[in-house]
Amino acid sequence: MKNLRTVITAVLVIALSSLGLSAASAAEGATSRCSGSAAPAARAAAQPVTVWLAGDSTMANPGSARCPVGWGSQFDALFNADVTVRNQAVGGRSIQTWMYEGNVSSTKGSDGECRLTSGTYSSRWQSMLNASTGMKAGDYLFIQFGINDSSSTCPRHVGPARYRQLMTTMVQAALARGAHPVLLTPVAAITCSGSTATKNRGFVNETFAVGSATGAPVVDLHSLSVSLYNSLRFCPHNGDYGSGPVGAFFCNDHTHFETYGAQRIAGLVAGDVRRQNLPLAAYLR
């Protein structure tokens, strides 16, 4: 009987050991499968990304002077080392003069738009379209115009329909290369109605219309910037742009930014990228 009990005990130990090994193997397999699915995602998130910026002086890199400083020059600092920001914004440009530098005449055609003397793109747009060194799959193209475009005279004047056409062209070019276009309404200047900062830019509806038609996300920087000015209590304002909180934010005008102002505007853009849960948000610090 004692021998029988010994045999039964041994059999039970072996059986339980086998079950333990099977459970352990299953657990290891599950862990391996989970790790296997997570690893590609982690690797994908670490792929280098270039963020291309197209816009005007409110976005452009600063020159030799202390002011103005475009918010695009402060954008790179908000991302980790896997992101490179290529700022191609240029002061004084409408969307048309940015795209067709030197080929926009000073006269209007019968359609009320500034005549193009040539359909050749500017060197900056050509470089972004370059198959080898320009936008590639996974990159981003941020587009912000609508300030200089409101000029009534050529070459900067752009009408609403033409604005939508040109912005759509830029969006489609990015999509054709596998890049992600992001549209921005024009950043607001500081204008006050009593104690309230007010909206003061055009081409907001046109930007949203292109976003709706193409599926490109829109950062409403116009509304975001006005809300920021109100939160900072910039109004009422006596017109002195060289001192106080307004002077620390803006150049000696109501439009362009000091470094601090540019940093705050860049933060608004990054915050909305995160709010909209764009894939680029994974790279934000």
User: Which pTM does this prediction carry?
Assistant: 0.84
Rounded Cα–Cα distance for residues 227 and 233 (Å): 10
Rounded Cα–Cα distance for residues 199 and 103 (Å): 32
Rounded Cα–Cα distance for residues 246 and 236 (Å): 11
> Positive or negative, the Cα torsion across 275, 280, 281, 284?
negative
**Other C-beta atoms lying within 10 Å of the C-beta of residue 67:** 16
Closest CA to 216 of 182, 174, 172, 175: 182
Residue matched to tokens 């992600």 = 180
Rounded Cα–Cα distance for residues 85 and 126 (Å): 17
Ranges of residues in the chain whose predicted pLDDT is under 50? 1-44
Helix 259-275 vs helix 221-231: angle between axes, to the nearest 10 degrees?
120
Q: For residue 66, count CB atoms less than 10 angstroms from its CB and return exposed for 0-12, middle for 13-18, buried for 19 or more.
A: exposed
Closest CA to 155 of 109, 190, 209, 208: 109
Kindly list the distances between the CA atom of residue 1 and the CA atoms of 6, 7, 14, 246, in Å, as whole numbers in the listed order.
9, 10, 20, 97
- Residue 46: the pLDDT is 64
Q: What is the 3-state secondary structure (H, E, C) of 207-264?
A: HHHHHHHHCCCEECHHHHHHHHHHHCCCCCCCCCCCCHHHHHHECCCCCCECHHHHHH
pLDDT tens-digit map of 232-243: 999 999 888 889
pLDDT tens-digit map of 125-153: 999 999 999 999 999 999 999 999 999 99
